[in-house]
Amino acid sequence: MAKKQLPKNYQVMESEHPQLMQAVSDLGQAARAEGPLDEKTVELIQLAAAAASRLEGAVHSHTRRALKAGASREEIHHAIVVLTSTLGFPSIAAAMSWVRDITD
């Protein structure tokens, strides 16, 4: 992802704490490399975790990344919808609105 596309807060964190942010990036890459899941599946899982944690910025980020990894709008929406019985409708409604910020 090009620097100009990164959220402003991420860029500030990277500027103020370069070693920490490099470690965060390295940890993410190491975790992805540990198993057989493809990039699309990883992004859908991370999207669901972001939604469950009610992290709007992370939902936006992982929605973008899932699209880039080949997930369809329908797959992304389904990744949120299937959380309904676990998280409850209000949480899903919020997460879906954040997903739609990107997909619509």
pLDDT digits (tens, 9 = 90+) for 24-41: 999 999 999 999 999 999
Helices then strands (H, E): number in the chain? 7, 0
Question: Which pLDDT score, from 0 to 100, does residue 15 have?
Answer: 96
80 or 4: which carries more pLDDT confidence?
A: 80
Q: Which two tokens stand for residue 62?
A: 């992982």
Instruction: State the Cα–Cα distance between residues 40 and 67, nearest whole angstrom.
Output: 8
pLDDT tens digits along 51-94: 999 999 999 999 999 999 999 999 999 999 999 999 999 999 99
Domains in the chain, ordered, with CATH?
37-103 (1.20.1290.10)
Q: Residue 37: count other Cβ atoms within 10 Å of its Cβ.
A: 12
Measured CA to CA, the distance from residue 83 to residue 28 in angstroms comes to 23
Would you state the pLDDT for residue 4? 52
Whole-structure pTM over 0.85, yes or no? yes
